Amino acid sequence: MTTILSANLGYPRIGEKREWKKAIEAFWQGDISEQSLKAQTKNLRLNNLKKQKEQGIDLIPTGDFSFYDHVLDTAVAFNIIPERFQHHDPTDLASYFAIARGETNAVAAEMTKWFNTNYHYIVPELSGTSPKLIENRALYYYQEAKEELDIDGKPVIVGPVTFVKLAKGYQEDELESWLNRLLPLYEQVLNELAAAGASWVQIDEPILGTNLSEKEIQLVEQVYQSIDNNVSGIQIILQTYFETVQHYQRITALPVKGIGLDFVHGDHLELIQKFGFPSDKVLGAGIINGRNVWRANLEEKYQFLQNIQQAANPETLIVQPSCSLLHVPVTKHLEEKLDTVVKDGLSFANEKLEELQILTTALQAGKQSVADAFKASQQAIAKLDQSEYRSQTPTIAKHKAKREISFAERKKLQQASLNLPLLPTTTIGSLPQTPQVKRTRTKWRKGEISDQAYEEFIGSETRRWIQIQEDLDLDVLVHGEFERNDMVEYFGEKLKGFAVTEFGWVQSYGSRCVKPPLLAGNVEWEKAITVKEIAYAQSLTDRPVKGMLTGPVTILNWSFVHEELPRFTVQDQIALALEKEVLALEEAGINIIQVDEPALREGLPLDRLKWPAYFDAAVNAFQLATATVKSETQIHTHMCYSEFGEIYEAIDGLDVDVISIETSRSHGEMVETFEKNDYKKDIGLGVYDIHSPRVPTLQELEVNIKRALETIDVEQFWINPDCGLKTRRETETIAALEKMVEAAKKIREQYTTIKQQ
């Protein structure tokens, strides 16, 4: 008879009210000591463990906590320290943060998206490092849970194959060599955990959901055979998530005790029904969606689990989330202002733990033992389905939009209209949101100041920054977005079909948290969203001011979209709503409109065979939103961390006039991709990193610009930071932009002189 257990794969780090974020930022600002930071975060960490223990979770993860990022933690633990930071003591927190954030004489390590999520990890740099185990973090956090709370936890470790595959600083044919260098360290970690009495360890290998080559899958087999040969006394559950595991039969045959599979985003039931599952192994059934916030249909999940159990007949079945709950907010109980129908339809991390226990109990003792919970689930789902959010069937006209004339012809018209200099300078959109801006917005939301007072404040900030930008001599200005809380949430507040939370925060990168809106139903544009503020900014200057919008793909990917909604249809609904906003901006005299798509690359399925359908839908949606403008109107977009070569055709298909790409931490690598692609439209490669507080030197900026101009024609190139400046302080922002404009003018003068000769 199959044993039924419950497990969690990871818990949100940030706290119900972002206590983690506040403590870390206080440390960065010098307001608290390292000792105080560690004490505060320990209390938070232990409280998180207590919640899971009180909920009755059988296998509670430990070591899922981080001060910044779990991949960075793994790198530091193994002494994988970038060469420019090796003079530091790696066990010192200030040194740890320096790698992630940079320091005066050293740029921060590269940061990119964790698979197809909005979580960012720090990319390990293997070149020039000497791996050794300097800190067994997994052991420390396991022992802490055992000693403080009597929890025999399940340590969580980033797997060796995933870690090396996500790293940089080595050649493709060195993958095996690096795995062999790191394997003894992993085995040491595991043996020390076994000696300490740990029963289980969770090794995360999400890379197994990607298209690994035959050689790479052979290396996976070698790695886990080595671990089996050299580690004893502890049970390994190999955890995969985000996608269907490639090479299913070979993965389930690996010499580990358990296999964790994502049954929400992967077709694993079909694979089990076709190929079976080893009867002597534990199956971790990821049945509760760890990446979305909508309440589970317990009846459907229960039936699905029974189907899994019947098909797999494992030794033990573990009921668990599809992935770590890092990707969802902590609890919905703080949400006092949400529409009751929407709130009842939600399930954040704490509520997902409840769902896990309900399903586990139903399998153990029968569904009748938790009949009330099943009934409540059905009623909440039915109420949302029958609400005004689902009042009509989504319909989208089957048509494709396209710009009237080619880019080459448009560029002539736009240049005649805008009269911009060579190497035009601009910013990406947002400007620093000072504590005063945030306090004023909070007071307004609480009703402590009037709408008029708030609008006057926003207007004064806009005026001040238009003047600052003119003084800096930027060529294309922005209004600053002082009225906006977040680039997606702001639009979620204004478009019909969305709802927003007060405390629905999730970690994006480092201490940066975002609050994704809830996309509950059909999307419609009801009135102008951005026109008033942008038109006002344009009235203050003779220089062009960009209209700033978030694109349909990003709004979709950075929202919690109800799972019953057809994603591509909703994406087109968003696009058609944005088209109305684009045309309203154009009607108000805004001649440059930027429609940002930082999440276009992020939303890609891990399986490359699914890419064409995704790209077709993304390109169509973007063109629905932007293609109906006049030829003289210049359309910009912005993207983050895009591996340009992989998505070149899709980016070209967007048919934008200017694209800016966030590349400052990997600037040279991005430039290299242009040597393989003949991109004809205008482009701005971010010339400095806004995720770091350091101000770039003039020399660094010149090097970045000149490196780009070796491949990109000077007539195509724009000069800008790599992302929005919302999170930066005002003084460092102005100082960095001064350097950027100075570098642009210096190089512009050189090229102008050459042309005159």
Per-residue HEC secondary structure of 473-509 comes to CCCCEECECCCCCCCCHHHHHHCEEEECCCCCCEEEE
Tokens matching residue 744: 């642009």
Q: What's the sign of the alpha-carbon dihedral 414, 418, 422, 424?
A: negative
Per the DSSP assignment, residues forming a β-bridge with 299 are: none
- Give 35's Cβ-side CA count (13 Å radius): 0
Give the separation between CA 561 and CA 568, rounded to whole angstroms.
Answer: 11
Lookup result for tokens 């404009």: 741
Distances (CA, A) of 248 to 165, 209, 254: 19, 10, 10
Which residue numbers belong to the known binding site for L-homocysteine? 428-430, 481, 596
Per the DSSP assignment, residues forming a β-bridge with 113 are: 120
Q: Where are the beta strands (DSSP E) in 677-746?
A: 682-685
Tokens matching residue 273: 């029904």
Cβ(58)–Cβ(364) below 8 Å: no
CA 256 to the chain's CA centroid:
30
Q: Are strands 111-113 and 120-122 parallel, antiparallel or unpaired?
A: antiparallel
Give the separation between CA 445 and CA 428, rounded to whole angstroms.
Answer: 27
Give the separation between CA 352 and CA 362, rounded to whole angstroms.
Answer: 15
Cβ(380)–Cβ(299) below 8 Å: no
- Compute φ and ψ for 401, nearest 5 degrees: -95, 155
740: burial class by Cβ within 10 Å (0-12, 13-18, 19+)?
A: buried
Catalytic residue, chosen from 70, 562, 636, 691, is: 691
Per-residue HEC secondary structure of 360-425 comes to HHHHHHCHHHHHHHHHHHHHHHHHHHCCHHHCCCCCCCCCCCCCCCCHHHHHHHHHHHHCCCCCCE
Cβ(75)–Cβ(122) below 8 Å: yes
Helix (H) or strand (E) holding 320: strand 316-321
Q: Which of 403, 541, 475 is nearest to 684 (CA)?
A: 475
Give the separation between CA 412 and CA 177, rounded to whole angstroms.
Answer: 53
Give the separation between CA 131 and CA 475, rounded to whole angstroms.
Answer: 47
Give the separation between CA 686 and CA 659, rounded to whole angstroms.
Answer: 11
Give the separation between CA 264 and CA 368, rounded to whole angstroms.
Answer: 25
Tokens matching residue 592: 């440059």
Give the separation between CA 385 and CA 393, rounded to whole angstroms.
Answer: 12
Lookup result for tokens 């981080």: 66
Distances (CA, A) of 116 to 207, 241, 487: 11, 11, 19
Per the DSSP assignment, residues forming a β-bridge with 513 are: 507
Which residue numbers belong to the known binding site for 5-methyltetrahydropteroyltri-L-glutamate? 18-21, 113, 118, 512-513, 558, 602
Which residue numbers belong to the known binding site for L-methionine? 428-430, 481, 596
Q: Where are the beta strands (DSSP E) in 27-92?
A: 61-62
Give the separation between CA 346 and CA 518, rounded to whole angstroms.
Answer: 9
Nearby residues of 625 by Cβ (< 8 Å), 6 or more positions away: 549, 551, 552, 574, 575, 576, 578, 579, 582, 595
Which residue numbers belong to the known binding site? 18-21, 113, 118, 428-430, 481, 512-513, 558, 596, 602, 638, 640, 662, 723
Distances (CA, A) of 379 to 284, 337, 362, 373: 29, 21, 18, 10
Give the separation between CA 714 and CA 510, rounded to whole angstroms.
Answer: 35
- Compute φ and ψ for 714, nearest 5 degrees: -60, -25
Which residue numbers belong to the known binding site for Zn(2+)? 638, 640, 662, 723
- In the chain, the N- to C-terminal Cα span, in Å, equals 86
Cβ(697)–Cβ(665) below 8 Å: no
Tell me if residue 691 is catalytic.
yes
Would you name the residues annotated as active-site residues? 691
